[in-house]
Copies of this chain bind each other. A is one copy, B any other.
Amino acid sequence: MVTRKRALKAPPDSDTDSRVQRSKHTVLAATYELLTQSGLAGVSVDAVSKRSGVAKTTIYRHWPSRSALLLDACSRMGSRAQTPDTGTLRGDLETLAFHVAGRLRTAPWAAVLPSIIDAAERDADLAGVQARIHAEMRYPFCAVVERAQQKGQARRGVNPAEIVAAVLGPLFYRRWFSREPLDDTFVKAVVQNVISQL
Protein backbone atom coordinates (compact mmCIF):
# COMPACT_ATOMS: atom_id res chain seq x y z
CA MET A 1 0.00 0.00 0.00
CA VAL A 2 2.85 2.34 0.83
CA THR A 3 4.33 1.65 -2.58
CA ARG A 4 1.14 2.52 -4.37
CA LYS A 5 0.68 5.80 -2.53
CA ARG A 6 4.26 6.75 -3.20
CA ALA A 7 3.75 6.58 -6.95
CA LEU A 8 1.16 9.35 -6.72
CA LYS A 9 3.14 11.66 -4.46
CA ALA A 10 6.44 13.44 -4.39
CA PRO A 11 9.49 11.14 -3.98
CA PRO A 12 9.74 10.05 -0.36
CA ASP A 13 12.32 11.28 2.07
CA SER A 14 14.68 8.30 2.33
CA ASP A 15 14.90 8.56 6.15
CA THR A 16 11.13 8.39 6.42
CA ASP A 17 11.07 5.51 4.02
CA SER A 18 13.59 3.41 5.94
CA ARG A 19 11.84 4.24 9.23
CA VAL A 20 8.59 2.94 7.77
CA GLN A 21 10.34 -0.21 6.56
CA ARG A 22 11.89 -0.79 9.98
CA SER A 23 8.57 -0.31 11.70
CA LYS A 24 6.82 -2.74 9.32
CA HIS A 25 9.60 -5.26 9.85
CA THR A 26 9.30 -4.94 13.65
CA VAL A 27 5.54 -5.48 13.49
CA LEU A 28 5.85 -8.55 11.23
CA ALA A 29 8.56 -10.06 13.43
CA ALA A 30 6.39 -9.57 16.53
CA THR A 31 3.40 -11.11 14.78
CA TYR A 32 5.46 -14.11 13.75
CA GLU A 33 6.82 -14.55 17.28
CA LEU A 34 3.33 -14.48 18.76
CA LEU A 35 2.14 -16.94 16.13
CA THR A 36 4.87 -19.45 16.89
CA GLN A 37 4.44 -19.10 20.65
CA SER A 38 0.71 -19.41 21.00
CA GLY A 39 -0.81 -20.15 17.62
CA LEU A 40 -3.23 -18.04 15.69
CA ALA A 41 -5.46 -17.46 18.70
CA GLY A 42 -2.61 -15.56 20.39
CA VAL A 43 -2.39 -12.93 17.64
CA SER A 44 -4.49 -9.80 18.07
CA VAL A 45 -3.55 -6.31 16.89
CA ASP A 46 -3.45 -5.35 20.58
CA ALA A 47 -0.95 -8.10 21.40
CA VAL A 48 1.18 -7.25 18.37
CA SER A 49 1.22 -3.59 19.37
CA LYS A 50 2.33 -4.45 22.91
CA ARG A 51 5.00 -6.87 21.76
CA SER A 52 6.43 -4.62 19.03
CA GLY A 53 6.06 -1.26 20.74
CA VAL A 54 4.42 0.08 17.55
CA ALA A 55 1.15 1.96 18.04
CA LYS A 56 -2.08 0.32 16.88
CA THR A 57 -2.84 3.31 14.63
CA THR A 58 0.48 2.78 12.85
CA ILE A 59 -0.20 -0.93 12.47
CA TYR A 60 -3.62 -0.22 10.99
CA ARG A 61 -2.02 2.28 8.56
CA HIS A 62 -0.04 -0.58 6.98
CA TRP A 63 -2.53 -3.43 7.39
CA PRO A 64 -6.25 -2.66 7.28
CA SER A 65 -7.19 -5.71 9.40
CA ARG A 66 -5.86 -8.50 11.60
CA SER A 67 -6.36 -10.86 8.64
CA ALA A 68 -4.19 -8.70 6.37
CA LEU A 69 -1.44 -8.64 9.00
CA LEU A 70 -1.65 -12.41 9.49
CA LEU A 71 -1.56 -12.94 5.75
CA ASP A 72 1.62 -10.93 5.48
CA ALA A 73 3.27 -12.61 8.49
CA CYS A 74 2.30 -16.08 7.28
CA SER A 75 3.67 -15.45 3.82
CA ARG A 76 7.12 -16.08 5.33
CA MET A 77 6.03 -19.61 6.17
CA GLY A 78 5.64 -20.94 2.67
CA SER A 79 8.83 -19.63 1.14
CA ARG A 80 9.41 -21.56 -2.05
CA ALA A 81 12.36 -23.98 -2.12
CA GLN A 82 14.75 -23.84 -5.08
CA THR A 83 13.86 -26.34 -7.80
CA PRO A 84 16.77 -28.82 -7.73
CA ASP A 85 18.32 -30.36 -10.84
CA THR A 86 20.33 -33.41 -9.80
CA GLY A 87 19.89 -35.20 -13.13
CA THR A 88 17.39 -37.81 -11.86
CA LEU A 89 13.83 -37.58 -10.60
CA ARG A 90 14.78 -39.66 -7.56
CA GLY A 91 17.58 -37.22 -6.71
CA ASP A 92 15.32 -34.21 -7.19
CA LEU A 93 12.48 -35.66 -5.09
CA GLU A 94 14.90 -36.73 -2.34
CA THR A 95 16.44 -33.25 -2.22
CA LEU A 96 13.00 -31.67 -1.90
CA ALA A 97 11.68 -34.26 0.59
CA PHE A 98 14.75 -33.89 2.83
CA HIS A 99 14.31 -30.13 2.72
CA VAL A 100 10.64 -30.33 3.76
CA ALA A 101 11.37 -32.97 6.45
CA GLY A 102 14.13 -30.78 7.88
CA ARG A 103 11.80 -27.79 8.09
CA LEU A 104 9.02 -29.88 9.60
CA ARG A 105 11.43 -31.07 12.30
CA THR A 106 12.83 -27.66 13.24
CA ALA A 107 11.06 -24.62 11.77
CA PRO A 108 8.81 -22.73 14.20
CA TRP A 109 6.07 -22.52 11.57
CA ALA A 110 5.64 -26.31 11.77
CA ALA A 111 4.04 -25.80 15.19
CA VAL A 112 1.81 -23.03 13.80
CA LEU A 113 0.47 -24.45 10.57
CA PRO A 114 -2.19 -26.57 12.35
CA SER A 115 -3.71 -23.40 13.82
CA ILE A 116 -3.94 -21.90 10.33
CA ILE A 117 -5.47 -25.10 8.97
CA ASP A 118 -7.93 -25.09 11.86
CA ALA A 119 -8.93 -21.47 11.23
CA ALA A 120 -9.16 -22.13 7.48
CA GLU A 121 -12.01 -24.55 8.21
CA ARG A 122 -14.13 -21.57 9.23
CA ASP A 123 -12.50 -18.42 7.76
CA ALA A 124 -12.20 -17.73 4.02
CA ASP A 125 -9.32 -15.22 4.38
CA LEU A 126 -7.22 -17.72 6.29
CA ALA A 127 -8.19 -20.45 3.83
CA GLY A 128 -6.57 -18.17 1.24
CA VAL A 129 -3.41 -17.85 3.37
CA GLN A 130 -3.26 -21.61 3.72
CA ALA A 131 -3.76 -22.17 -0.01
CA ARG A 132 -0.87 -19.82 -0.74
CA ILE A 133 1.47 -21.56 1.73
CA HIS A 134 0.53 -24.90 0.22
CA ALA A 135 1.01 -23.68 -3.37
CA GLU A 136 4.53 -22.47 -2.51
CA MET A 137 5.48 -25.79 -0.90
CA ARG A 138 4.07 -27.80 -3.74
CA TYR A 139 5.46 -25.81 -6.66
CA PRO A 140 9.00 -27.32 -6.91
CA PHE A 141 7.64 -30.87 -6.55
CA CYS A 142 5.34 -30.37 -9.53
CA ALA A 143 8.17 -28.71 -11.46
CA VAL A 144 10.57 -31.67 -11.10
CA VAL A 145 7.88 -34.24 -11.94
CA GLU A 146 6.79 -32.32 -15.06
CA ARG A 147 10.40 -31.93 -16.19
CA ALA A 148 10.98 -35.67 -15.74
CA GLN A 149 7.85 -36.37 -17.78
CA GLN A 150 9.08 -34.10 -20.59
CA LYS A 151 12.45 -35.89 -20.58
CA GLY A 152 10.76 -39.30 -20.69
CA GLN A 153 12.04 -40.20 -17.18
CA ALA A 154 8.52 -40.62 -15.82
CA ARG A 155 5.23 -41.80 -17.33
CA ARG A 156 3.18 -38.95 -18.78
CA GLY A 157 -0.08 -40.48 -17.59
CA VAL A 158 0.76 -39.85 -13.93
CA ASN A 159 -0.82 -36.76 -12.41
CA PRO A 160 1.89 -34.67 -10.65
CA ALA A 161 -0.66 -33.81 -7.92
CA GLU A 162 -0.81 -37.50 -6.99
CA ILE A 163 2.97 -37.68 -6.72
CA VAL A 164 2.99 -34.64 -4.45
CA ALA A 165 0.31 -36.26 -2.26
CA ALA A 166 2.37 -39.46 -2.06
CA VAL A 167 5.47 -37.55 -0.89
CA LEU A 168 4.10 -34.71 1.25
CA GLY A 169 1.22 -36.81 2.66
CA PRO A 170 3.37 -39.29 4.64
CA LEU A 171 5.74 -36.50 5.80
CA PHE A 172 2.87 -34.34 7.09
CA TYR A 173 1.21 -37.40 8.60
CA ARG A 174 4.30 -38.20 10.69
CA ARG A 175 4.85 -34.61 11.79
CA TRP A 176 1.30 -33.76 12.83
CA PHE A 177 -0.70 -36.99 13.20
CA SER A 178 1.35 -39.98 14.28
CA ARG A 179 4.23 -37.81 15.59
CA GLU A 180 6.73 -40.54 14.70
CA PRO A 181 10.31 -39.57 13.78
CA LEU A 182 10.88 -38.00 10.37
CA ASP A 183 14.26 -39.65 9.96
CA ASP A 184 16.30 -40.06 6.79
CA THR A 185 15.38 -43.74 6.42
CA PHE A 186 11.68 -42.87 6.38
CA VAL A 187 12.14 -39.99 3.91
CA LYS A 188 14.14 -42.22 1.54
CA ALA A 189 11.50 -44.97 1.79
CA VAL A 190 8.73 -42.49 0.92
CA VAL A 191 10.57 -41.33 -2.21
CA GLN A 192 11.46 -44.92 -3.15
CA ASN A 193 7.77 -45.89 -2.98
CA VAL A 194 6.86 -43.04 -5.30
CA ILE A 195 9.68 -43.67 -7.76
CA SER A 196 8.78 -47.35 -8.07
CA GLN A 197 5.42 -46.35 -9.60
CA LEU A 198 6.88 -44.12 -12.28
- How far is A134 from B173 in the complex, measured between Cα atoms in Å? 10
Chain multiplicity (copies):
2
**Inter-chain contact B117/A111, CB cutoff 8 Å:** no
- How far is A196 from B197 in the complex, measured between Cα atoms in Å? 8
Interface centre among A122, A178, A186, A189 (most CB of B within 10 A): A178
- How far is A121 from B40 in the complex, measured between Cα atoms in Å? 12
Interface residues of A in 39-95 (CB under 8 A from B): 39-41
CB nearest to A168 among chain B residues: B173
**Inter-chain contact A39/B121, CB cutoff 8 Å:** yes
Of the listed stretches A12-20, A23-31, A159-167, name the one at the interface; the rest are far from the partner chain.
A159-167
**Inter-chain contact B177/A166, CB cutoff 8 Å:** no
> Shortest CB–CB separation between residue A54 and chain B, in angstroms?
26
**Inter-chain contact B38/A41, CB cutoff 8 Å:** no
Interface centre among A39, A162, A173, A186 (most CB of B within 10 A): A173
Interface residues of A (CB under 8 A from B): 38-41, 111, 114-115, 117-118, 121-122, 127, 130-131, 134, 138, 161-162, 164-166, 168-174, 176-180, 186, 189-190, 193-194, 196-197
Q: Apart from A161-B178, A161-B180, A165-B173, what are 18 other A-B pairs with CB-CB below 8 Å?
A: A41-B41, A111-B121, A111-B122, A114-B118, A118-B118, A134-B178, A165-B169, A165-B170, A165-B174, A165-B180, A169-B170, A169-B171, A169-B172, A169-B174, A172-B172, A172-B173, A173-B173, A193-B194
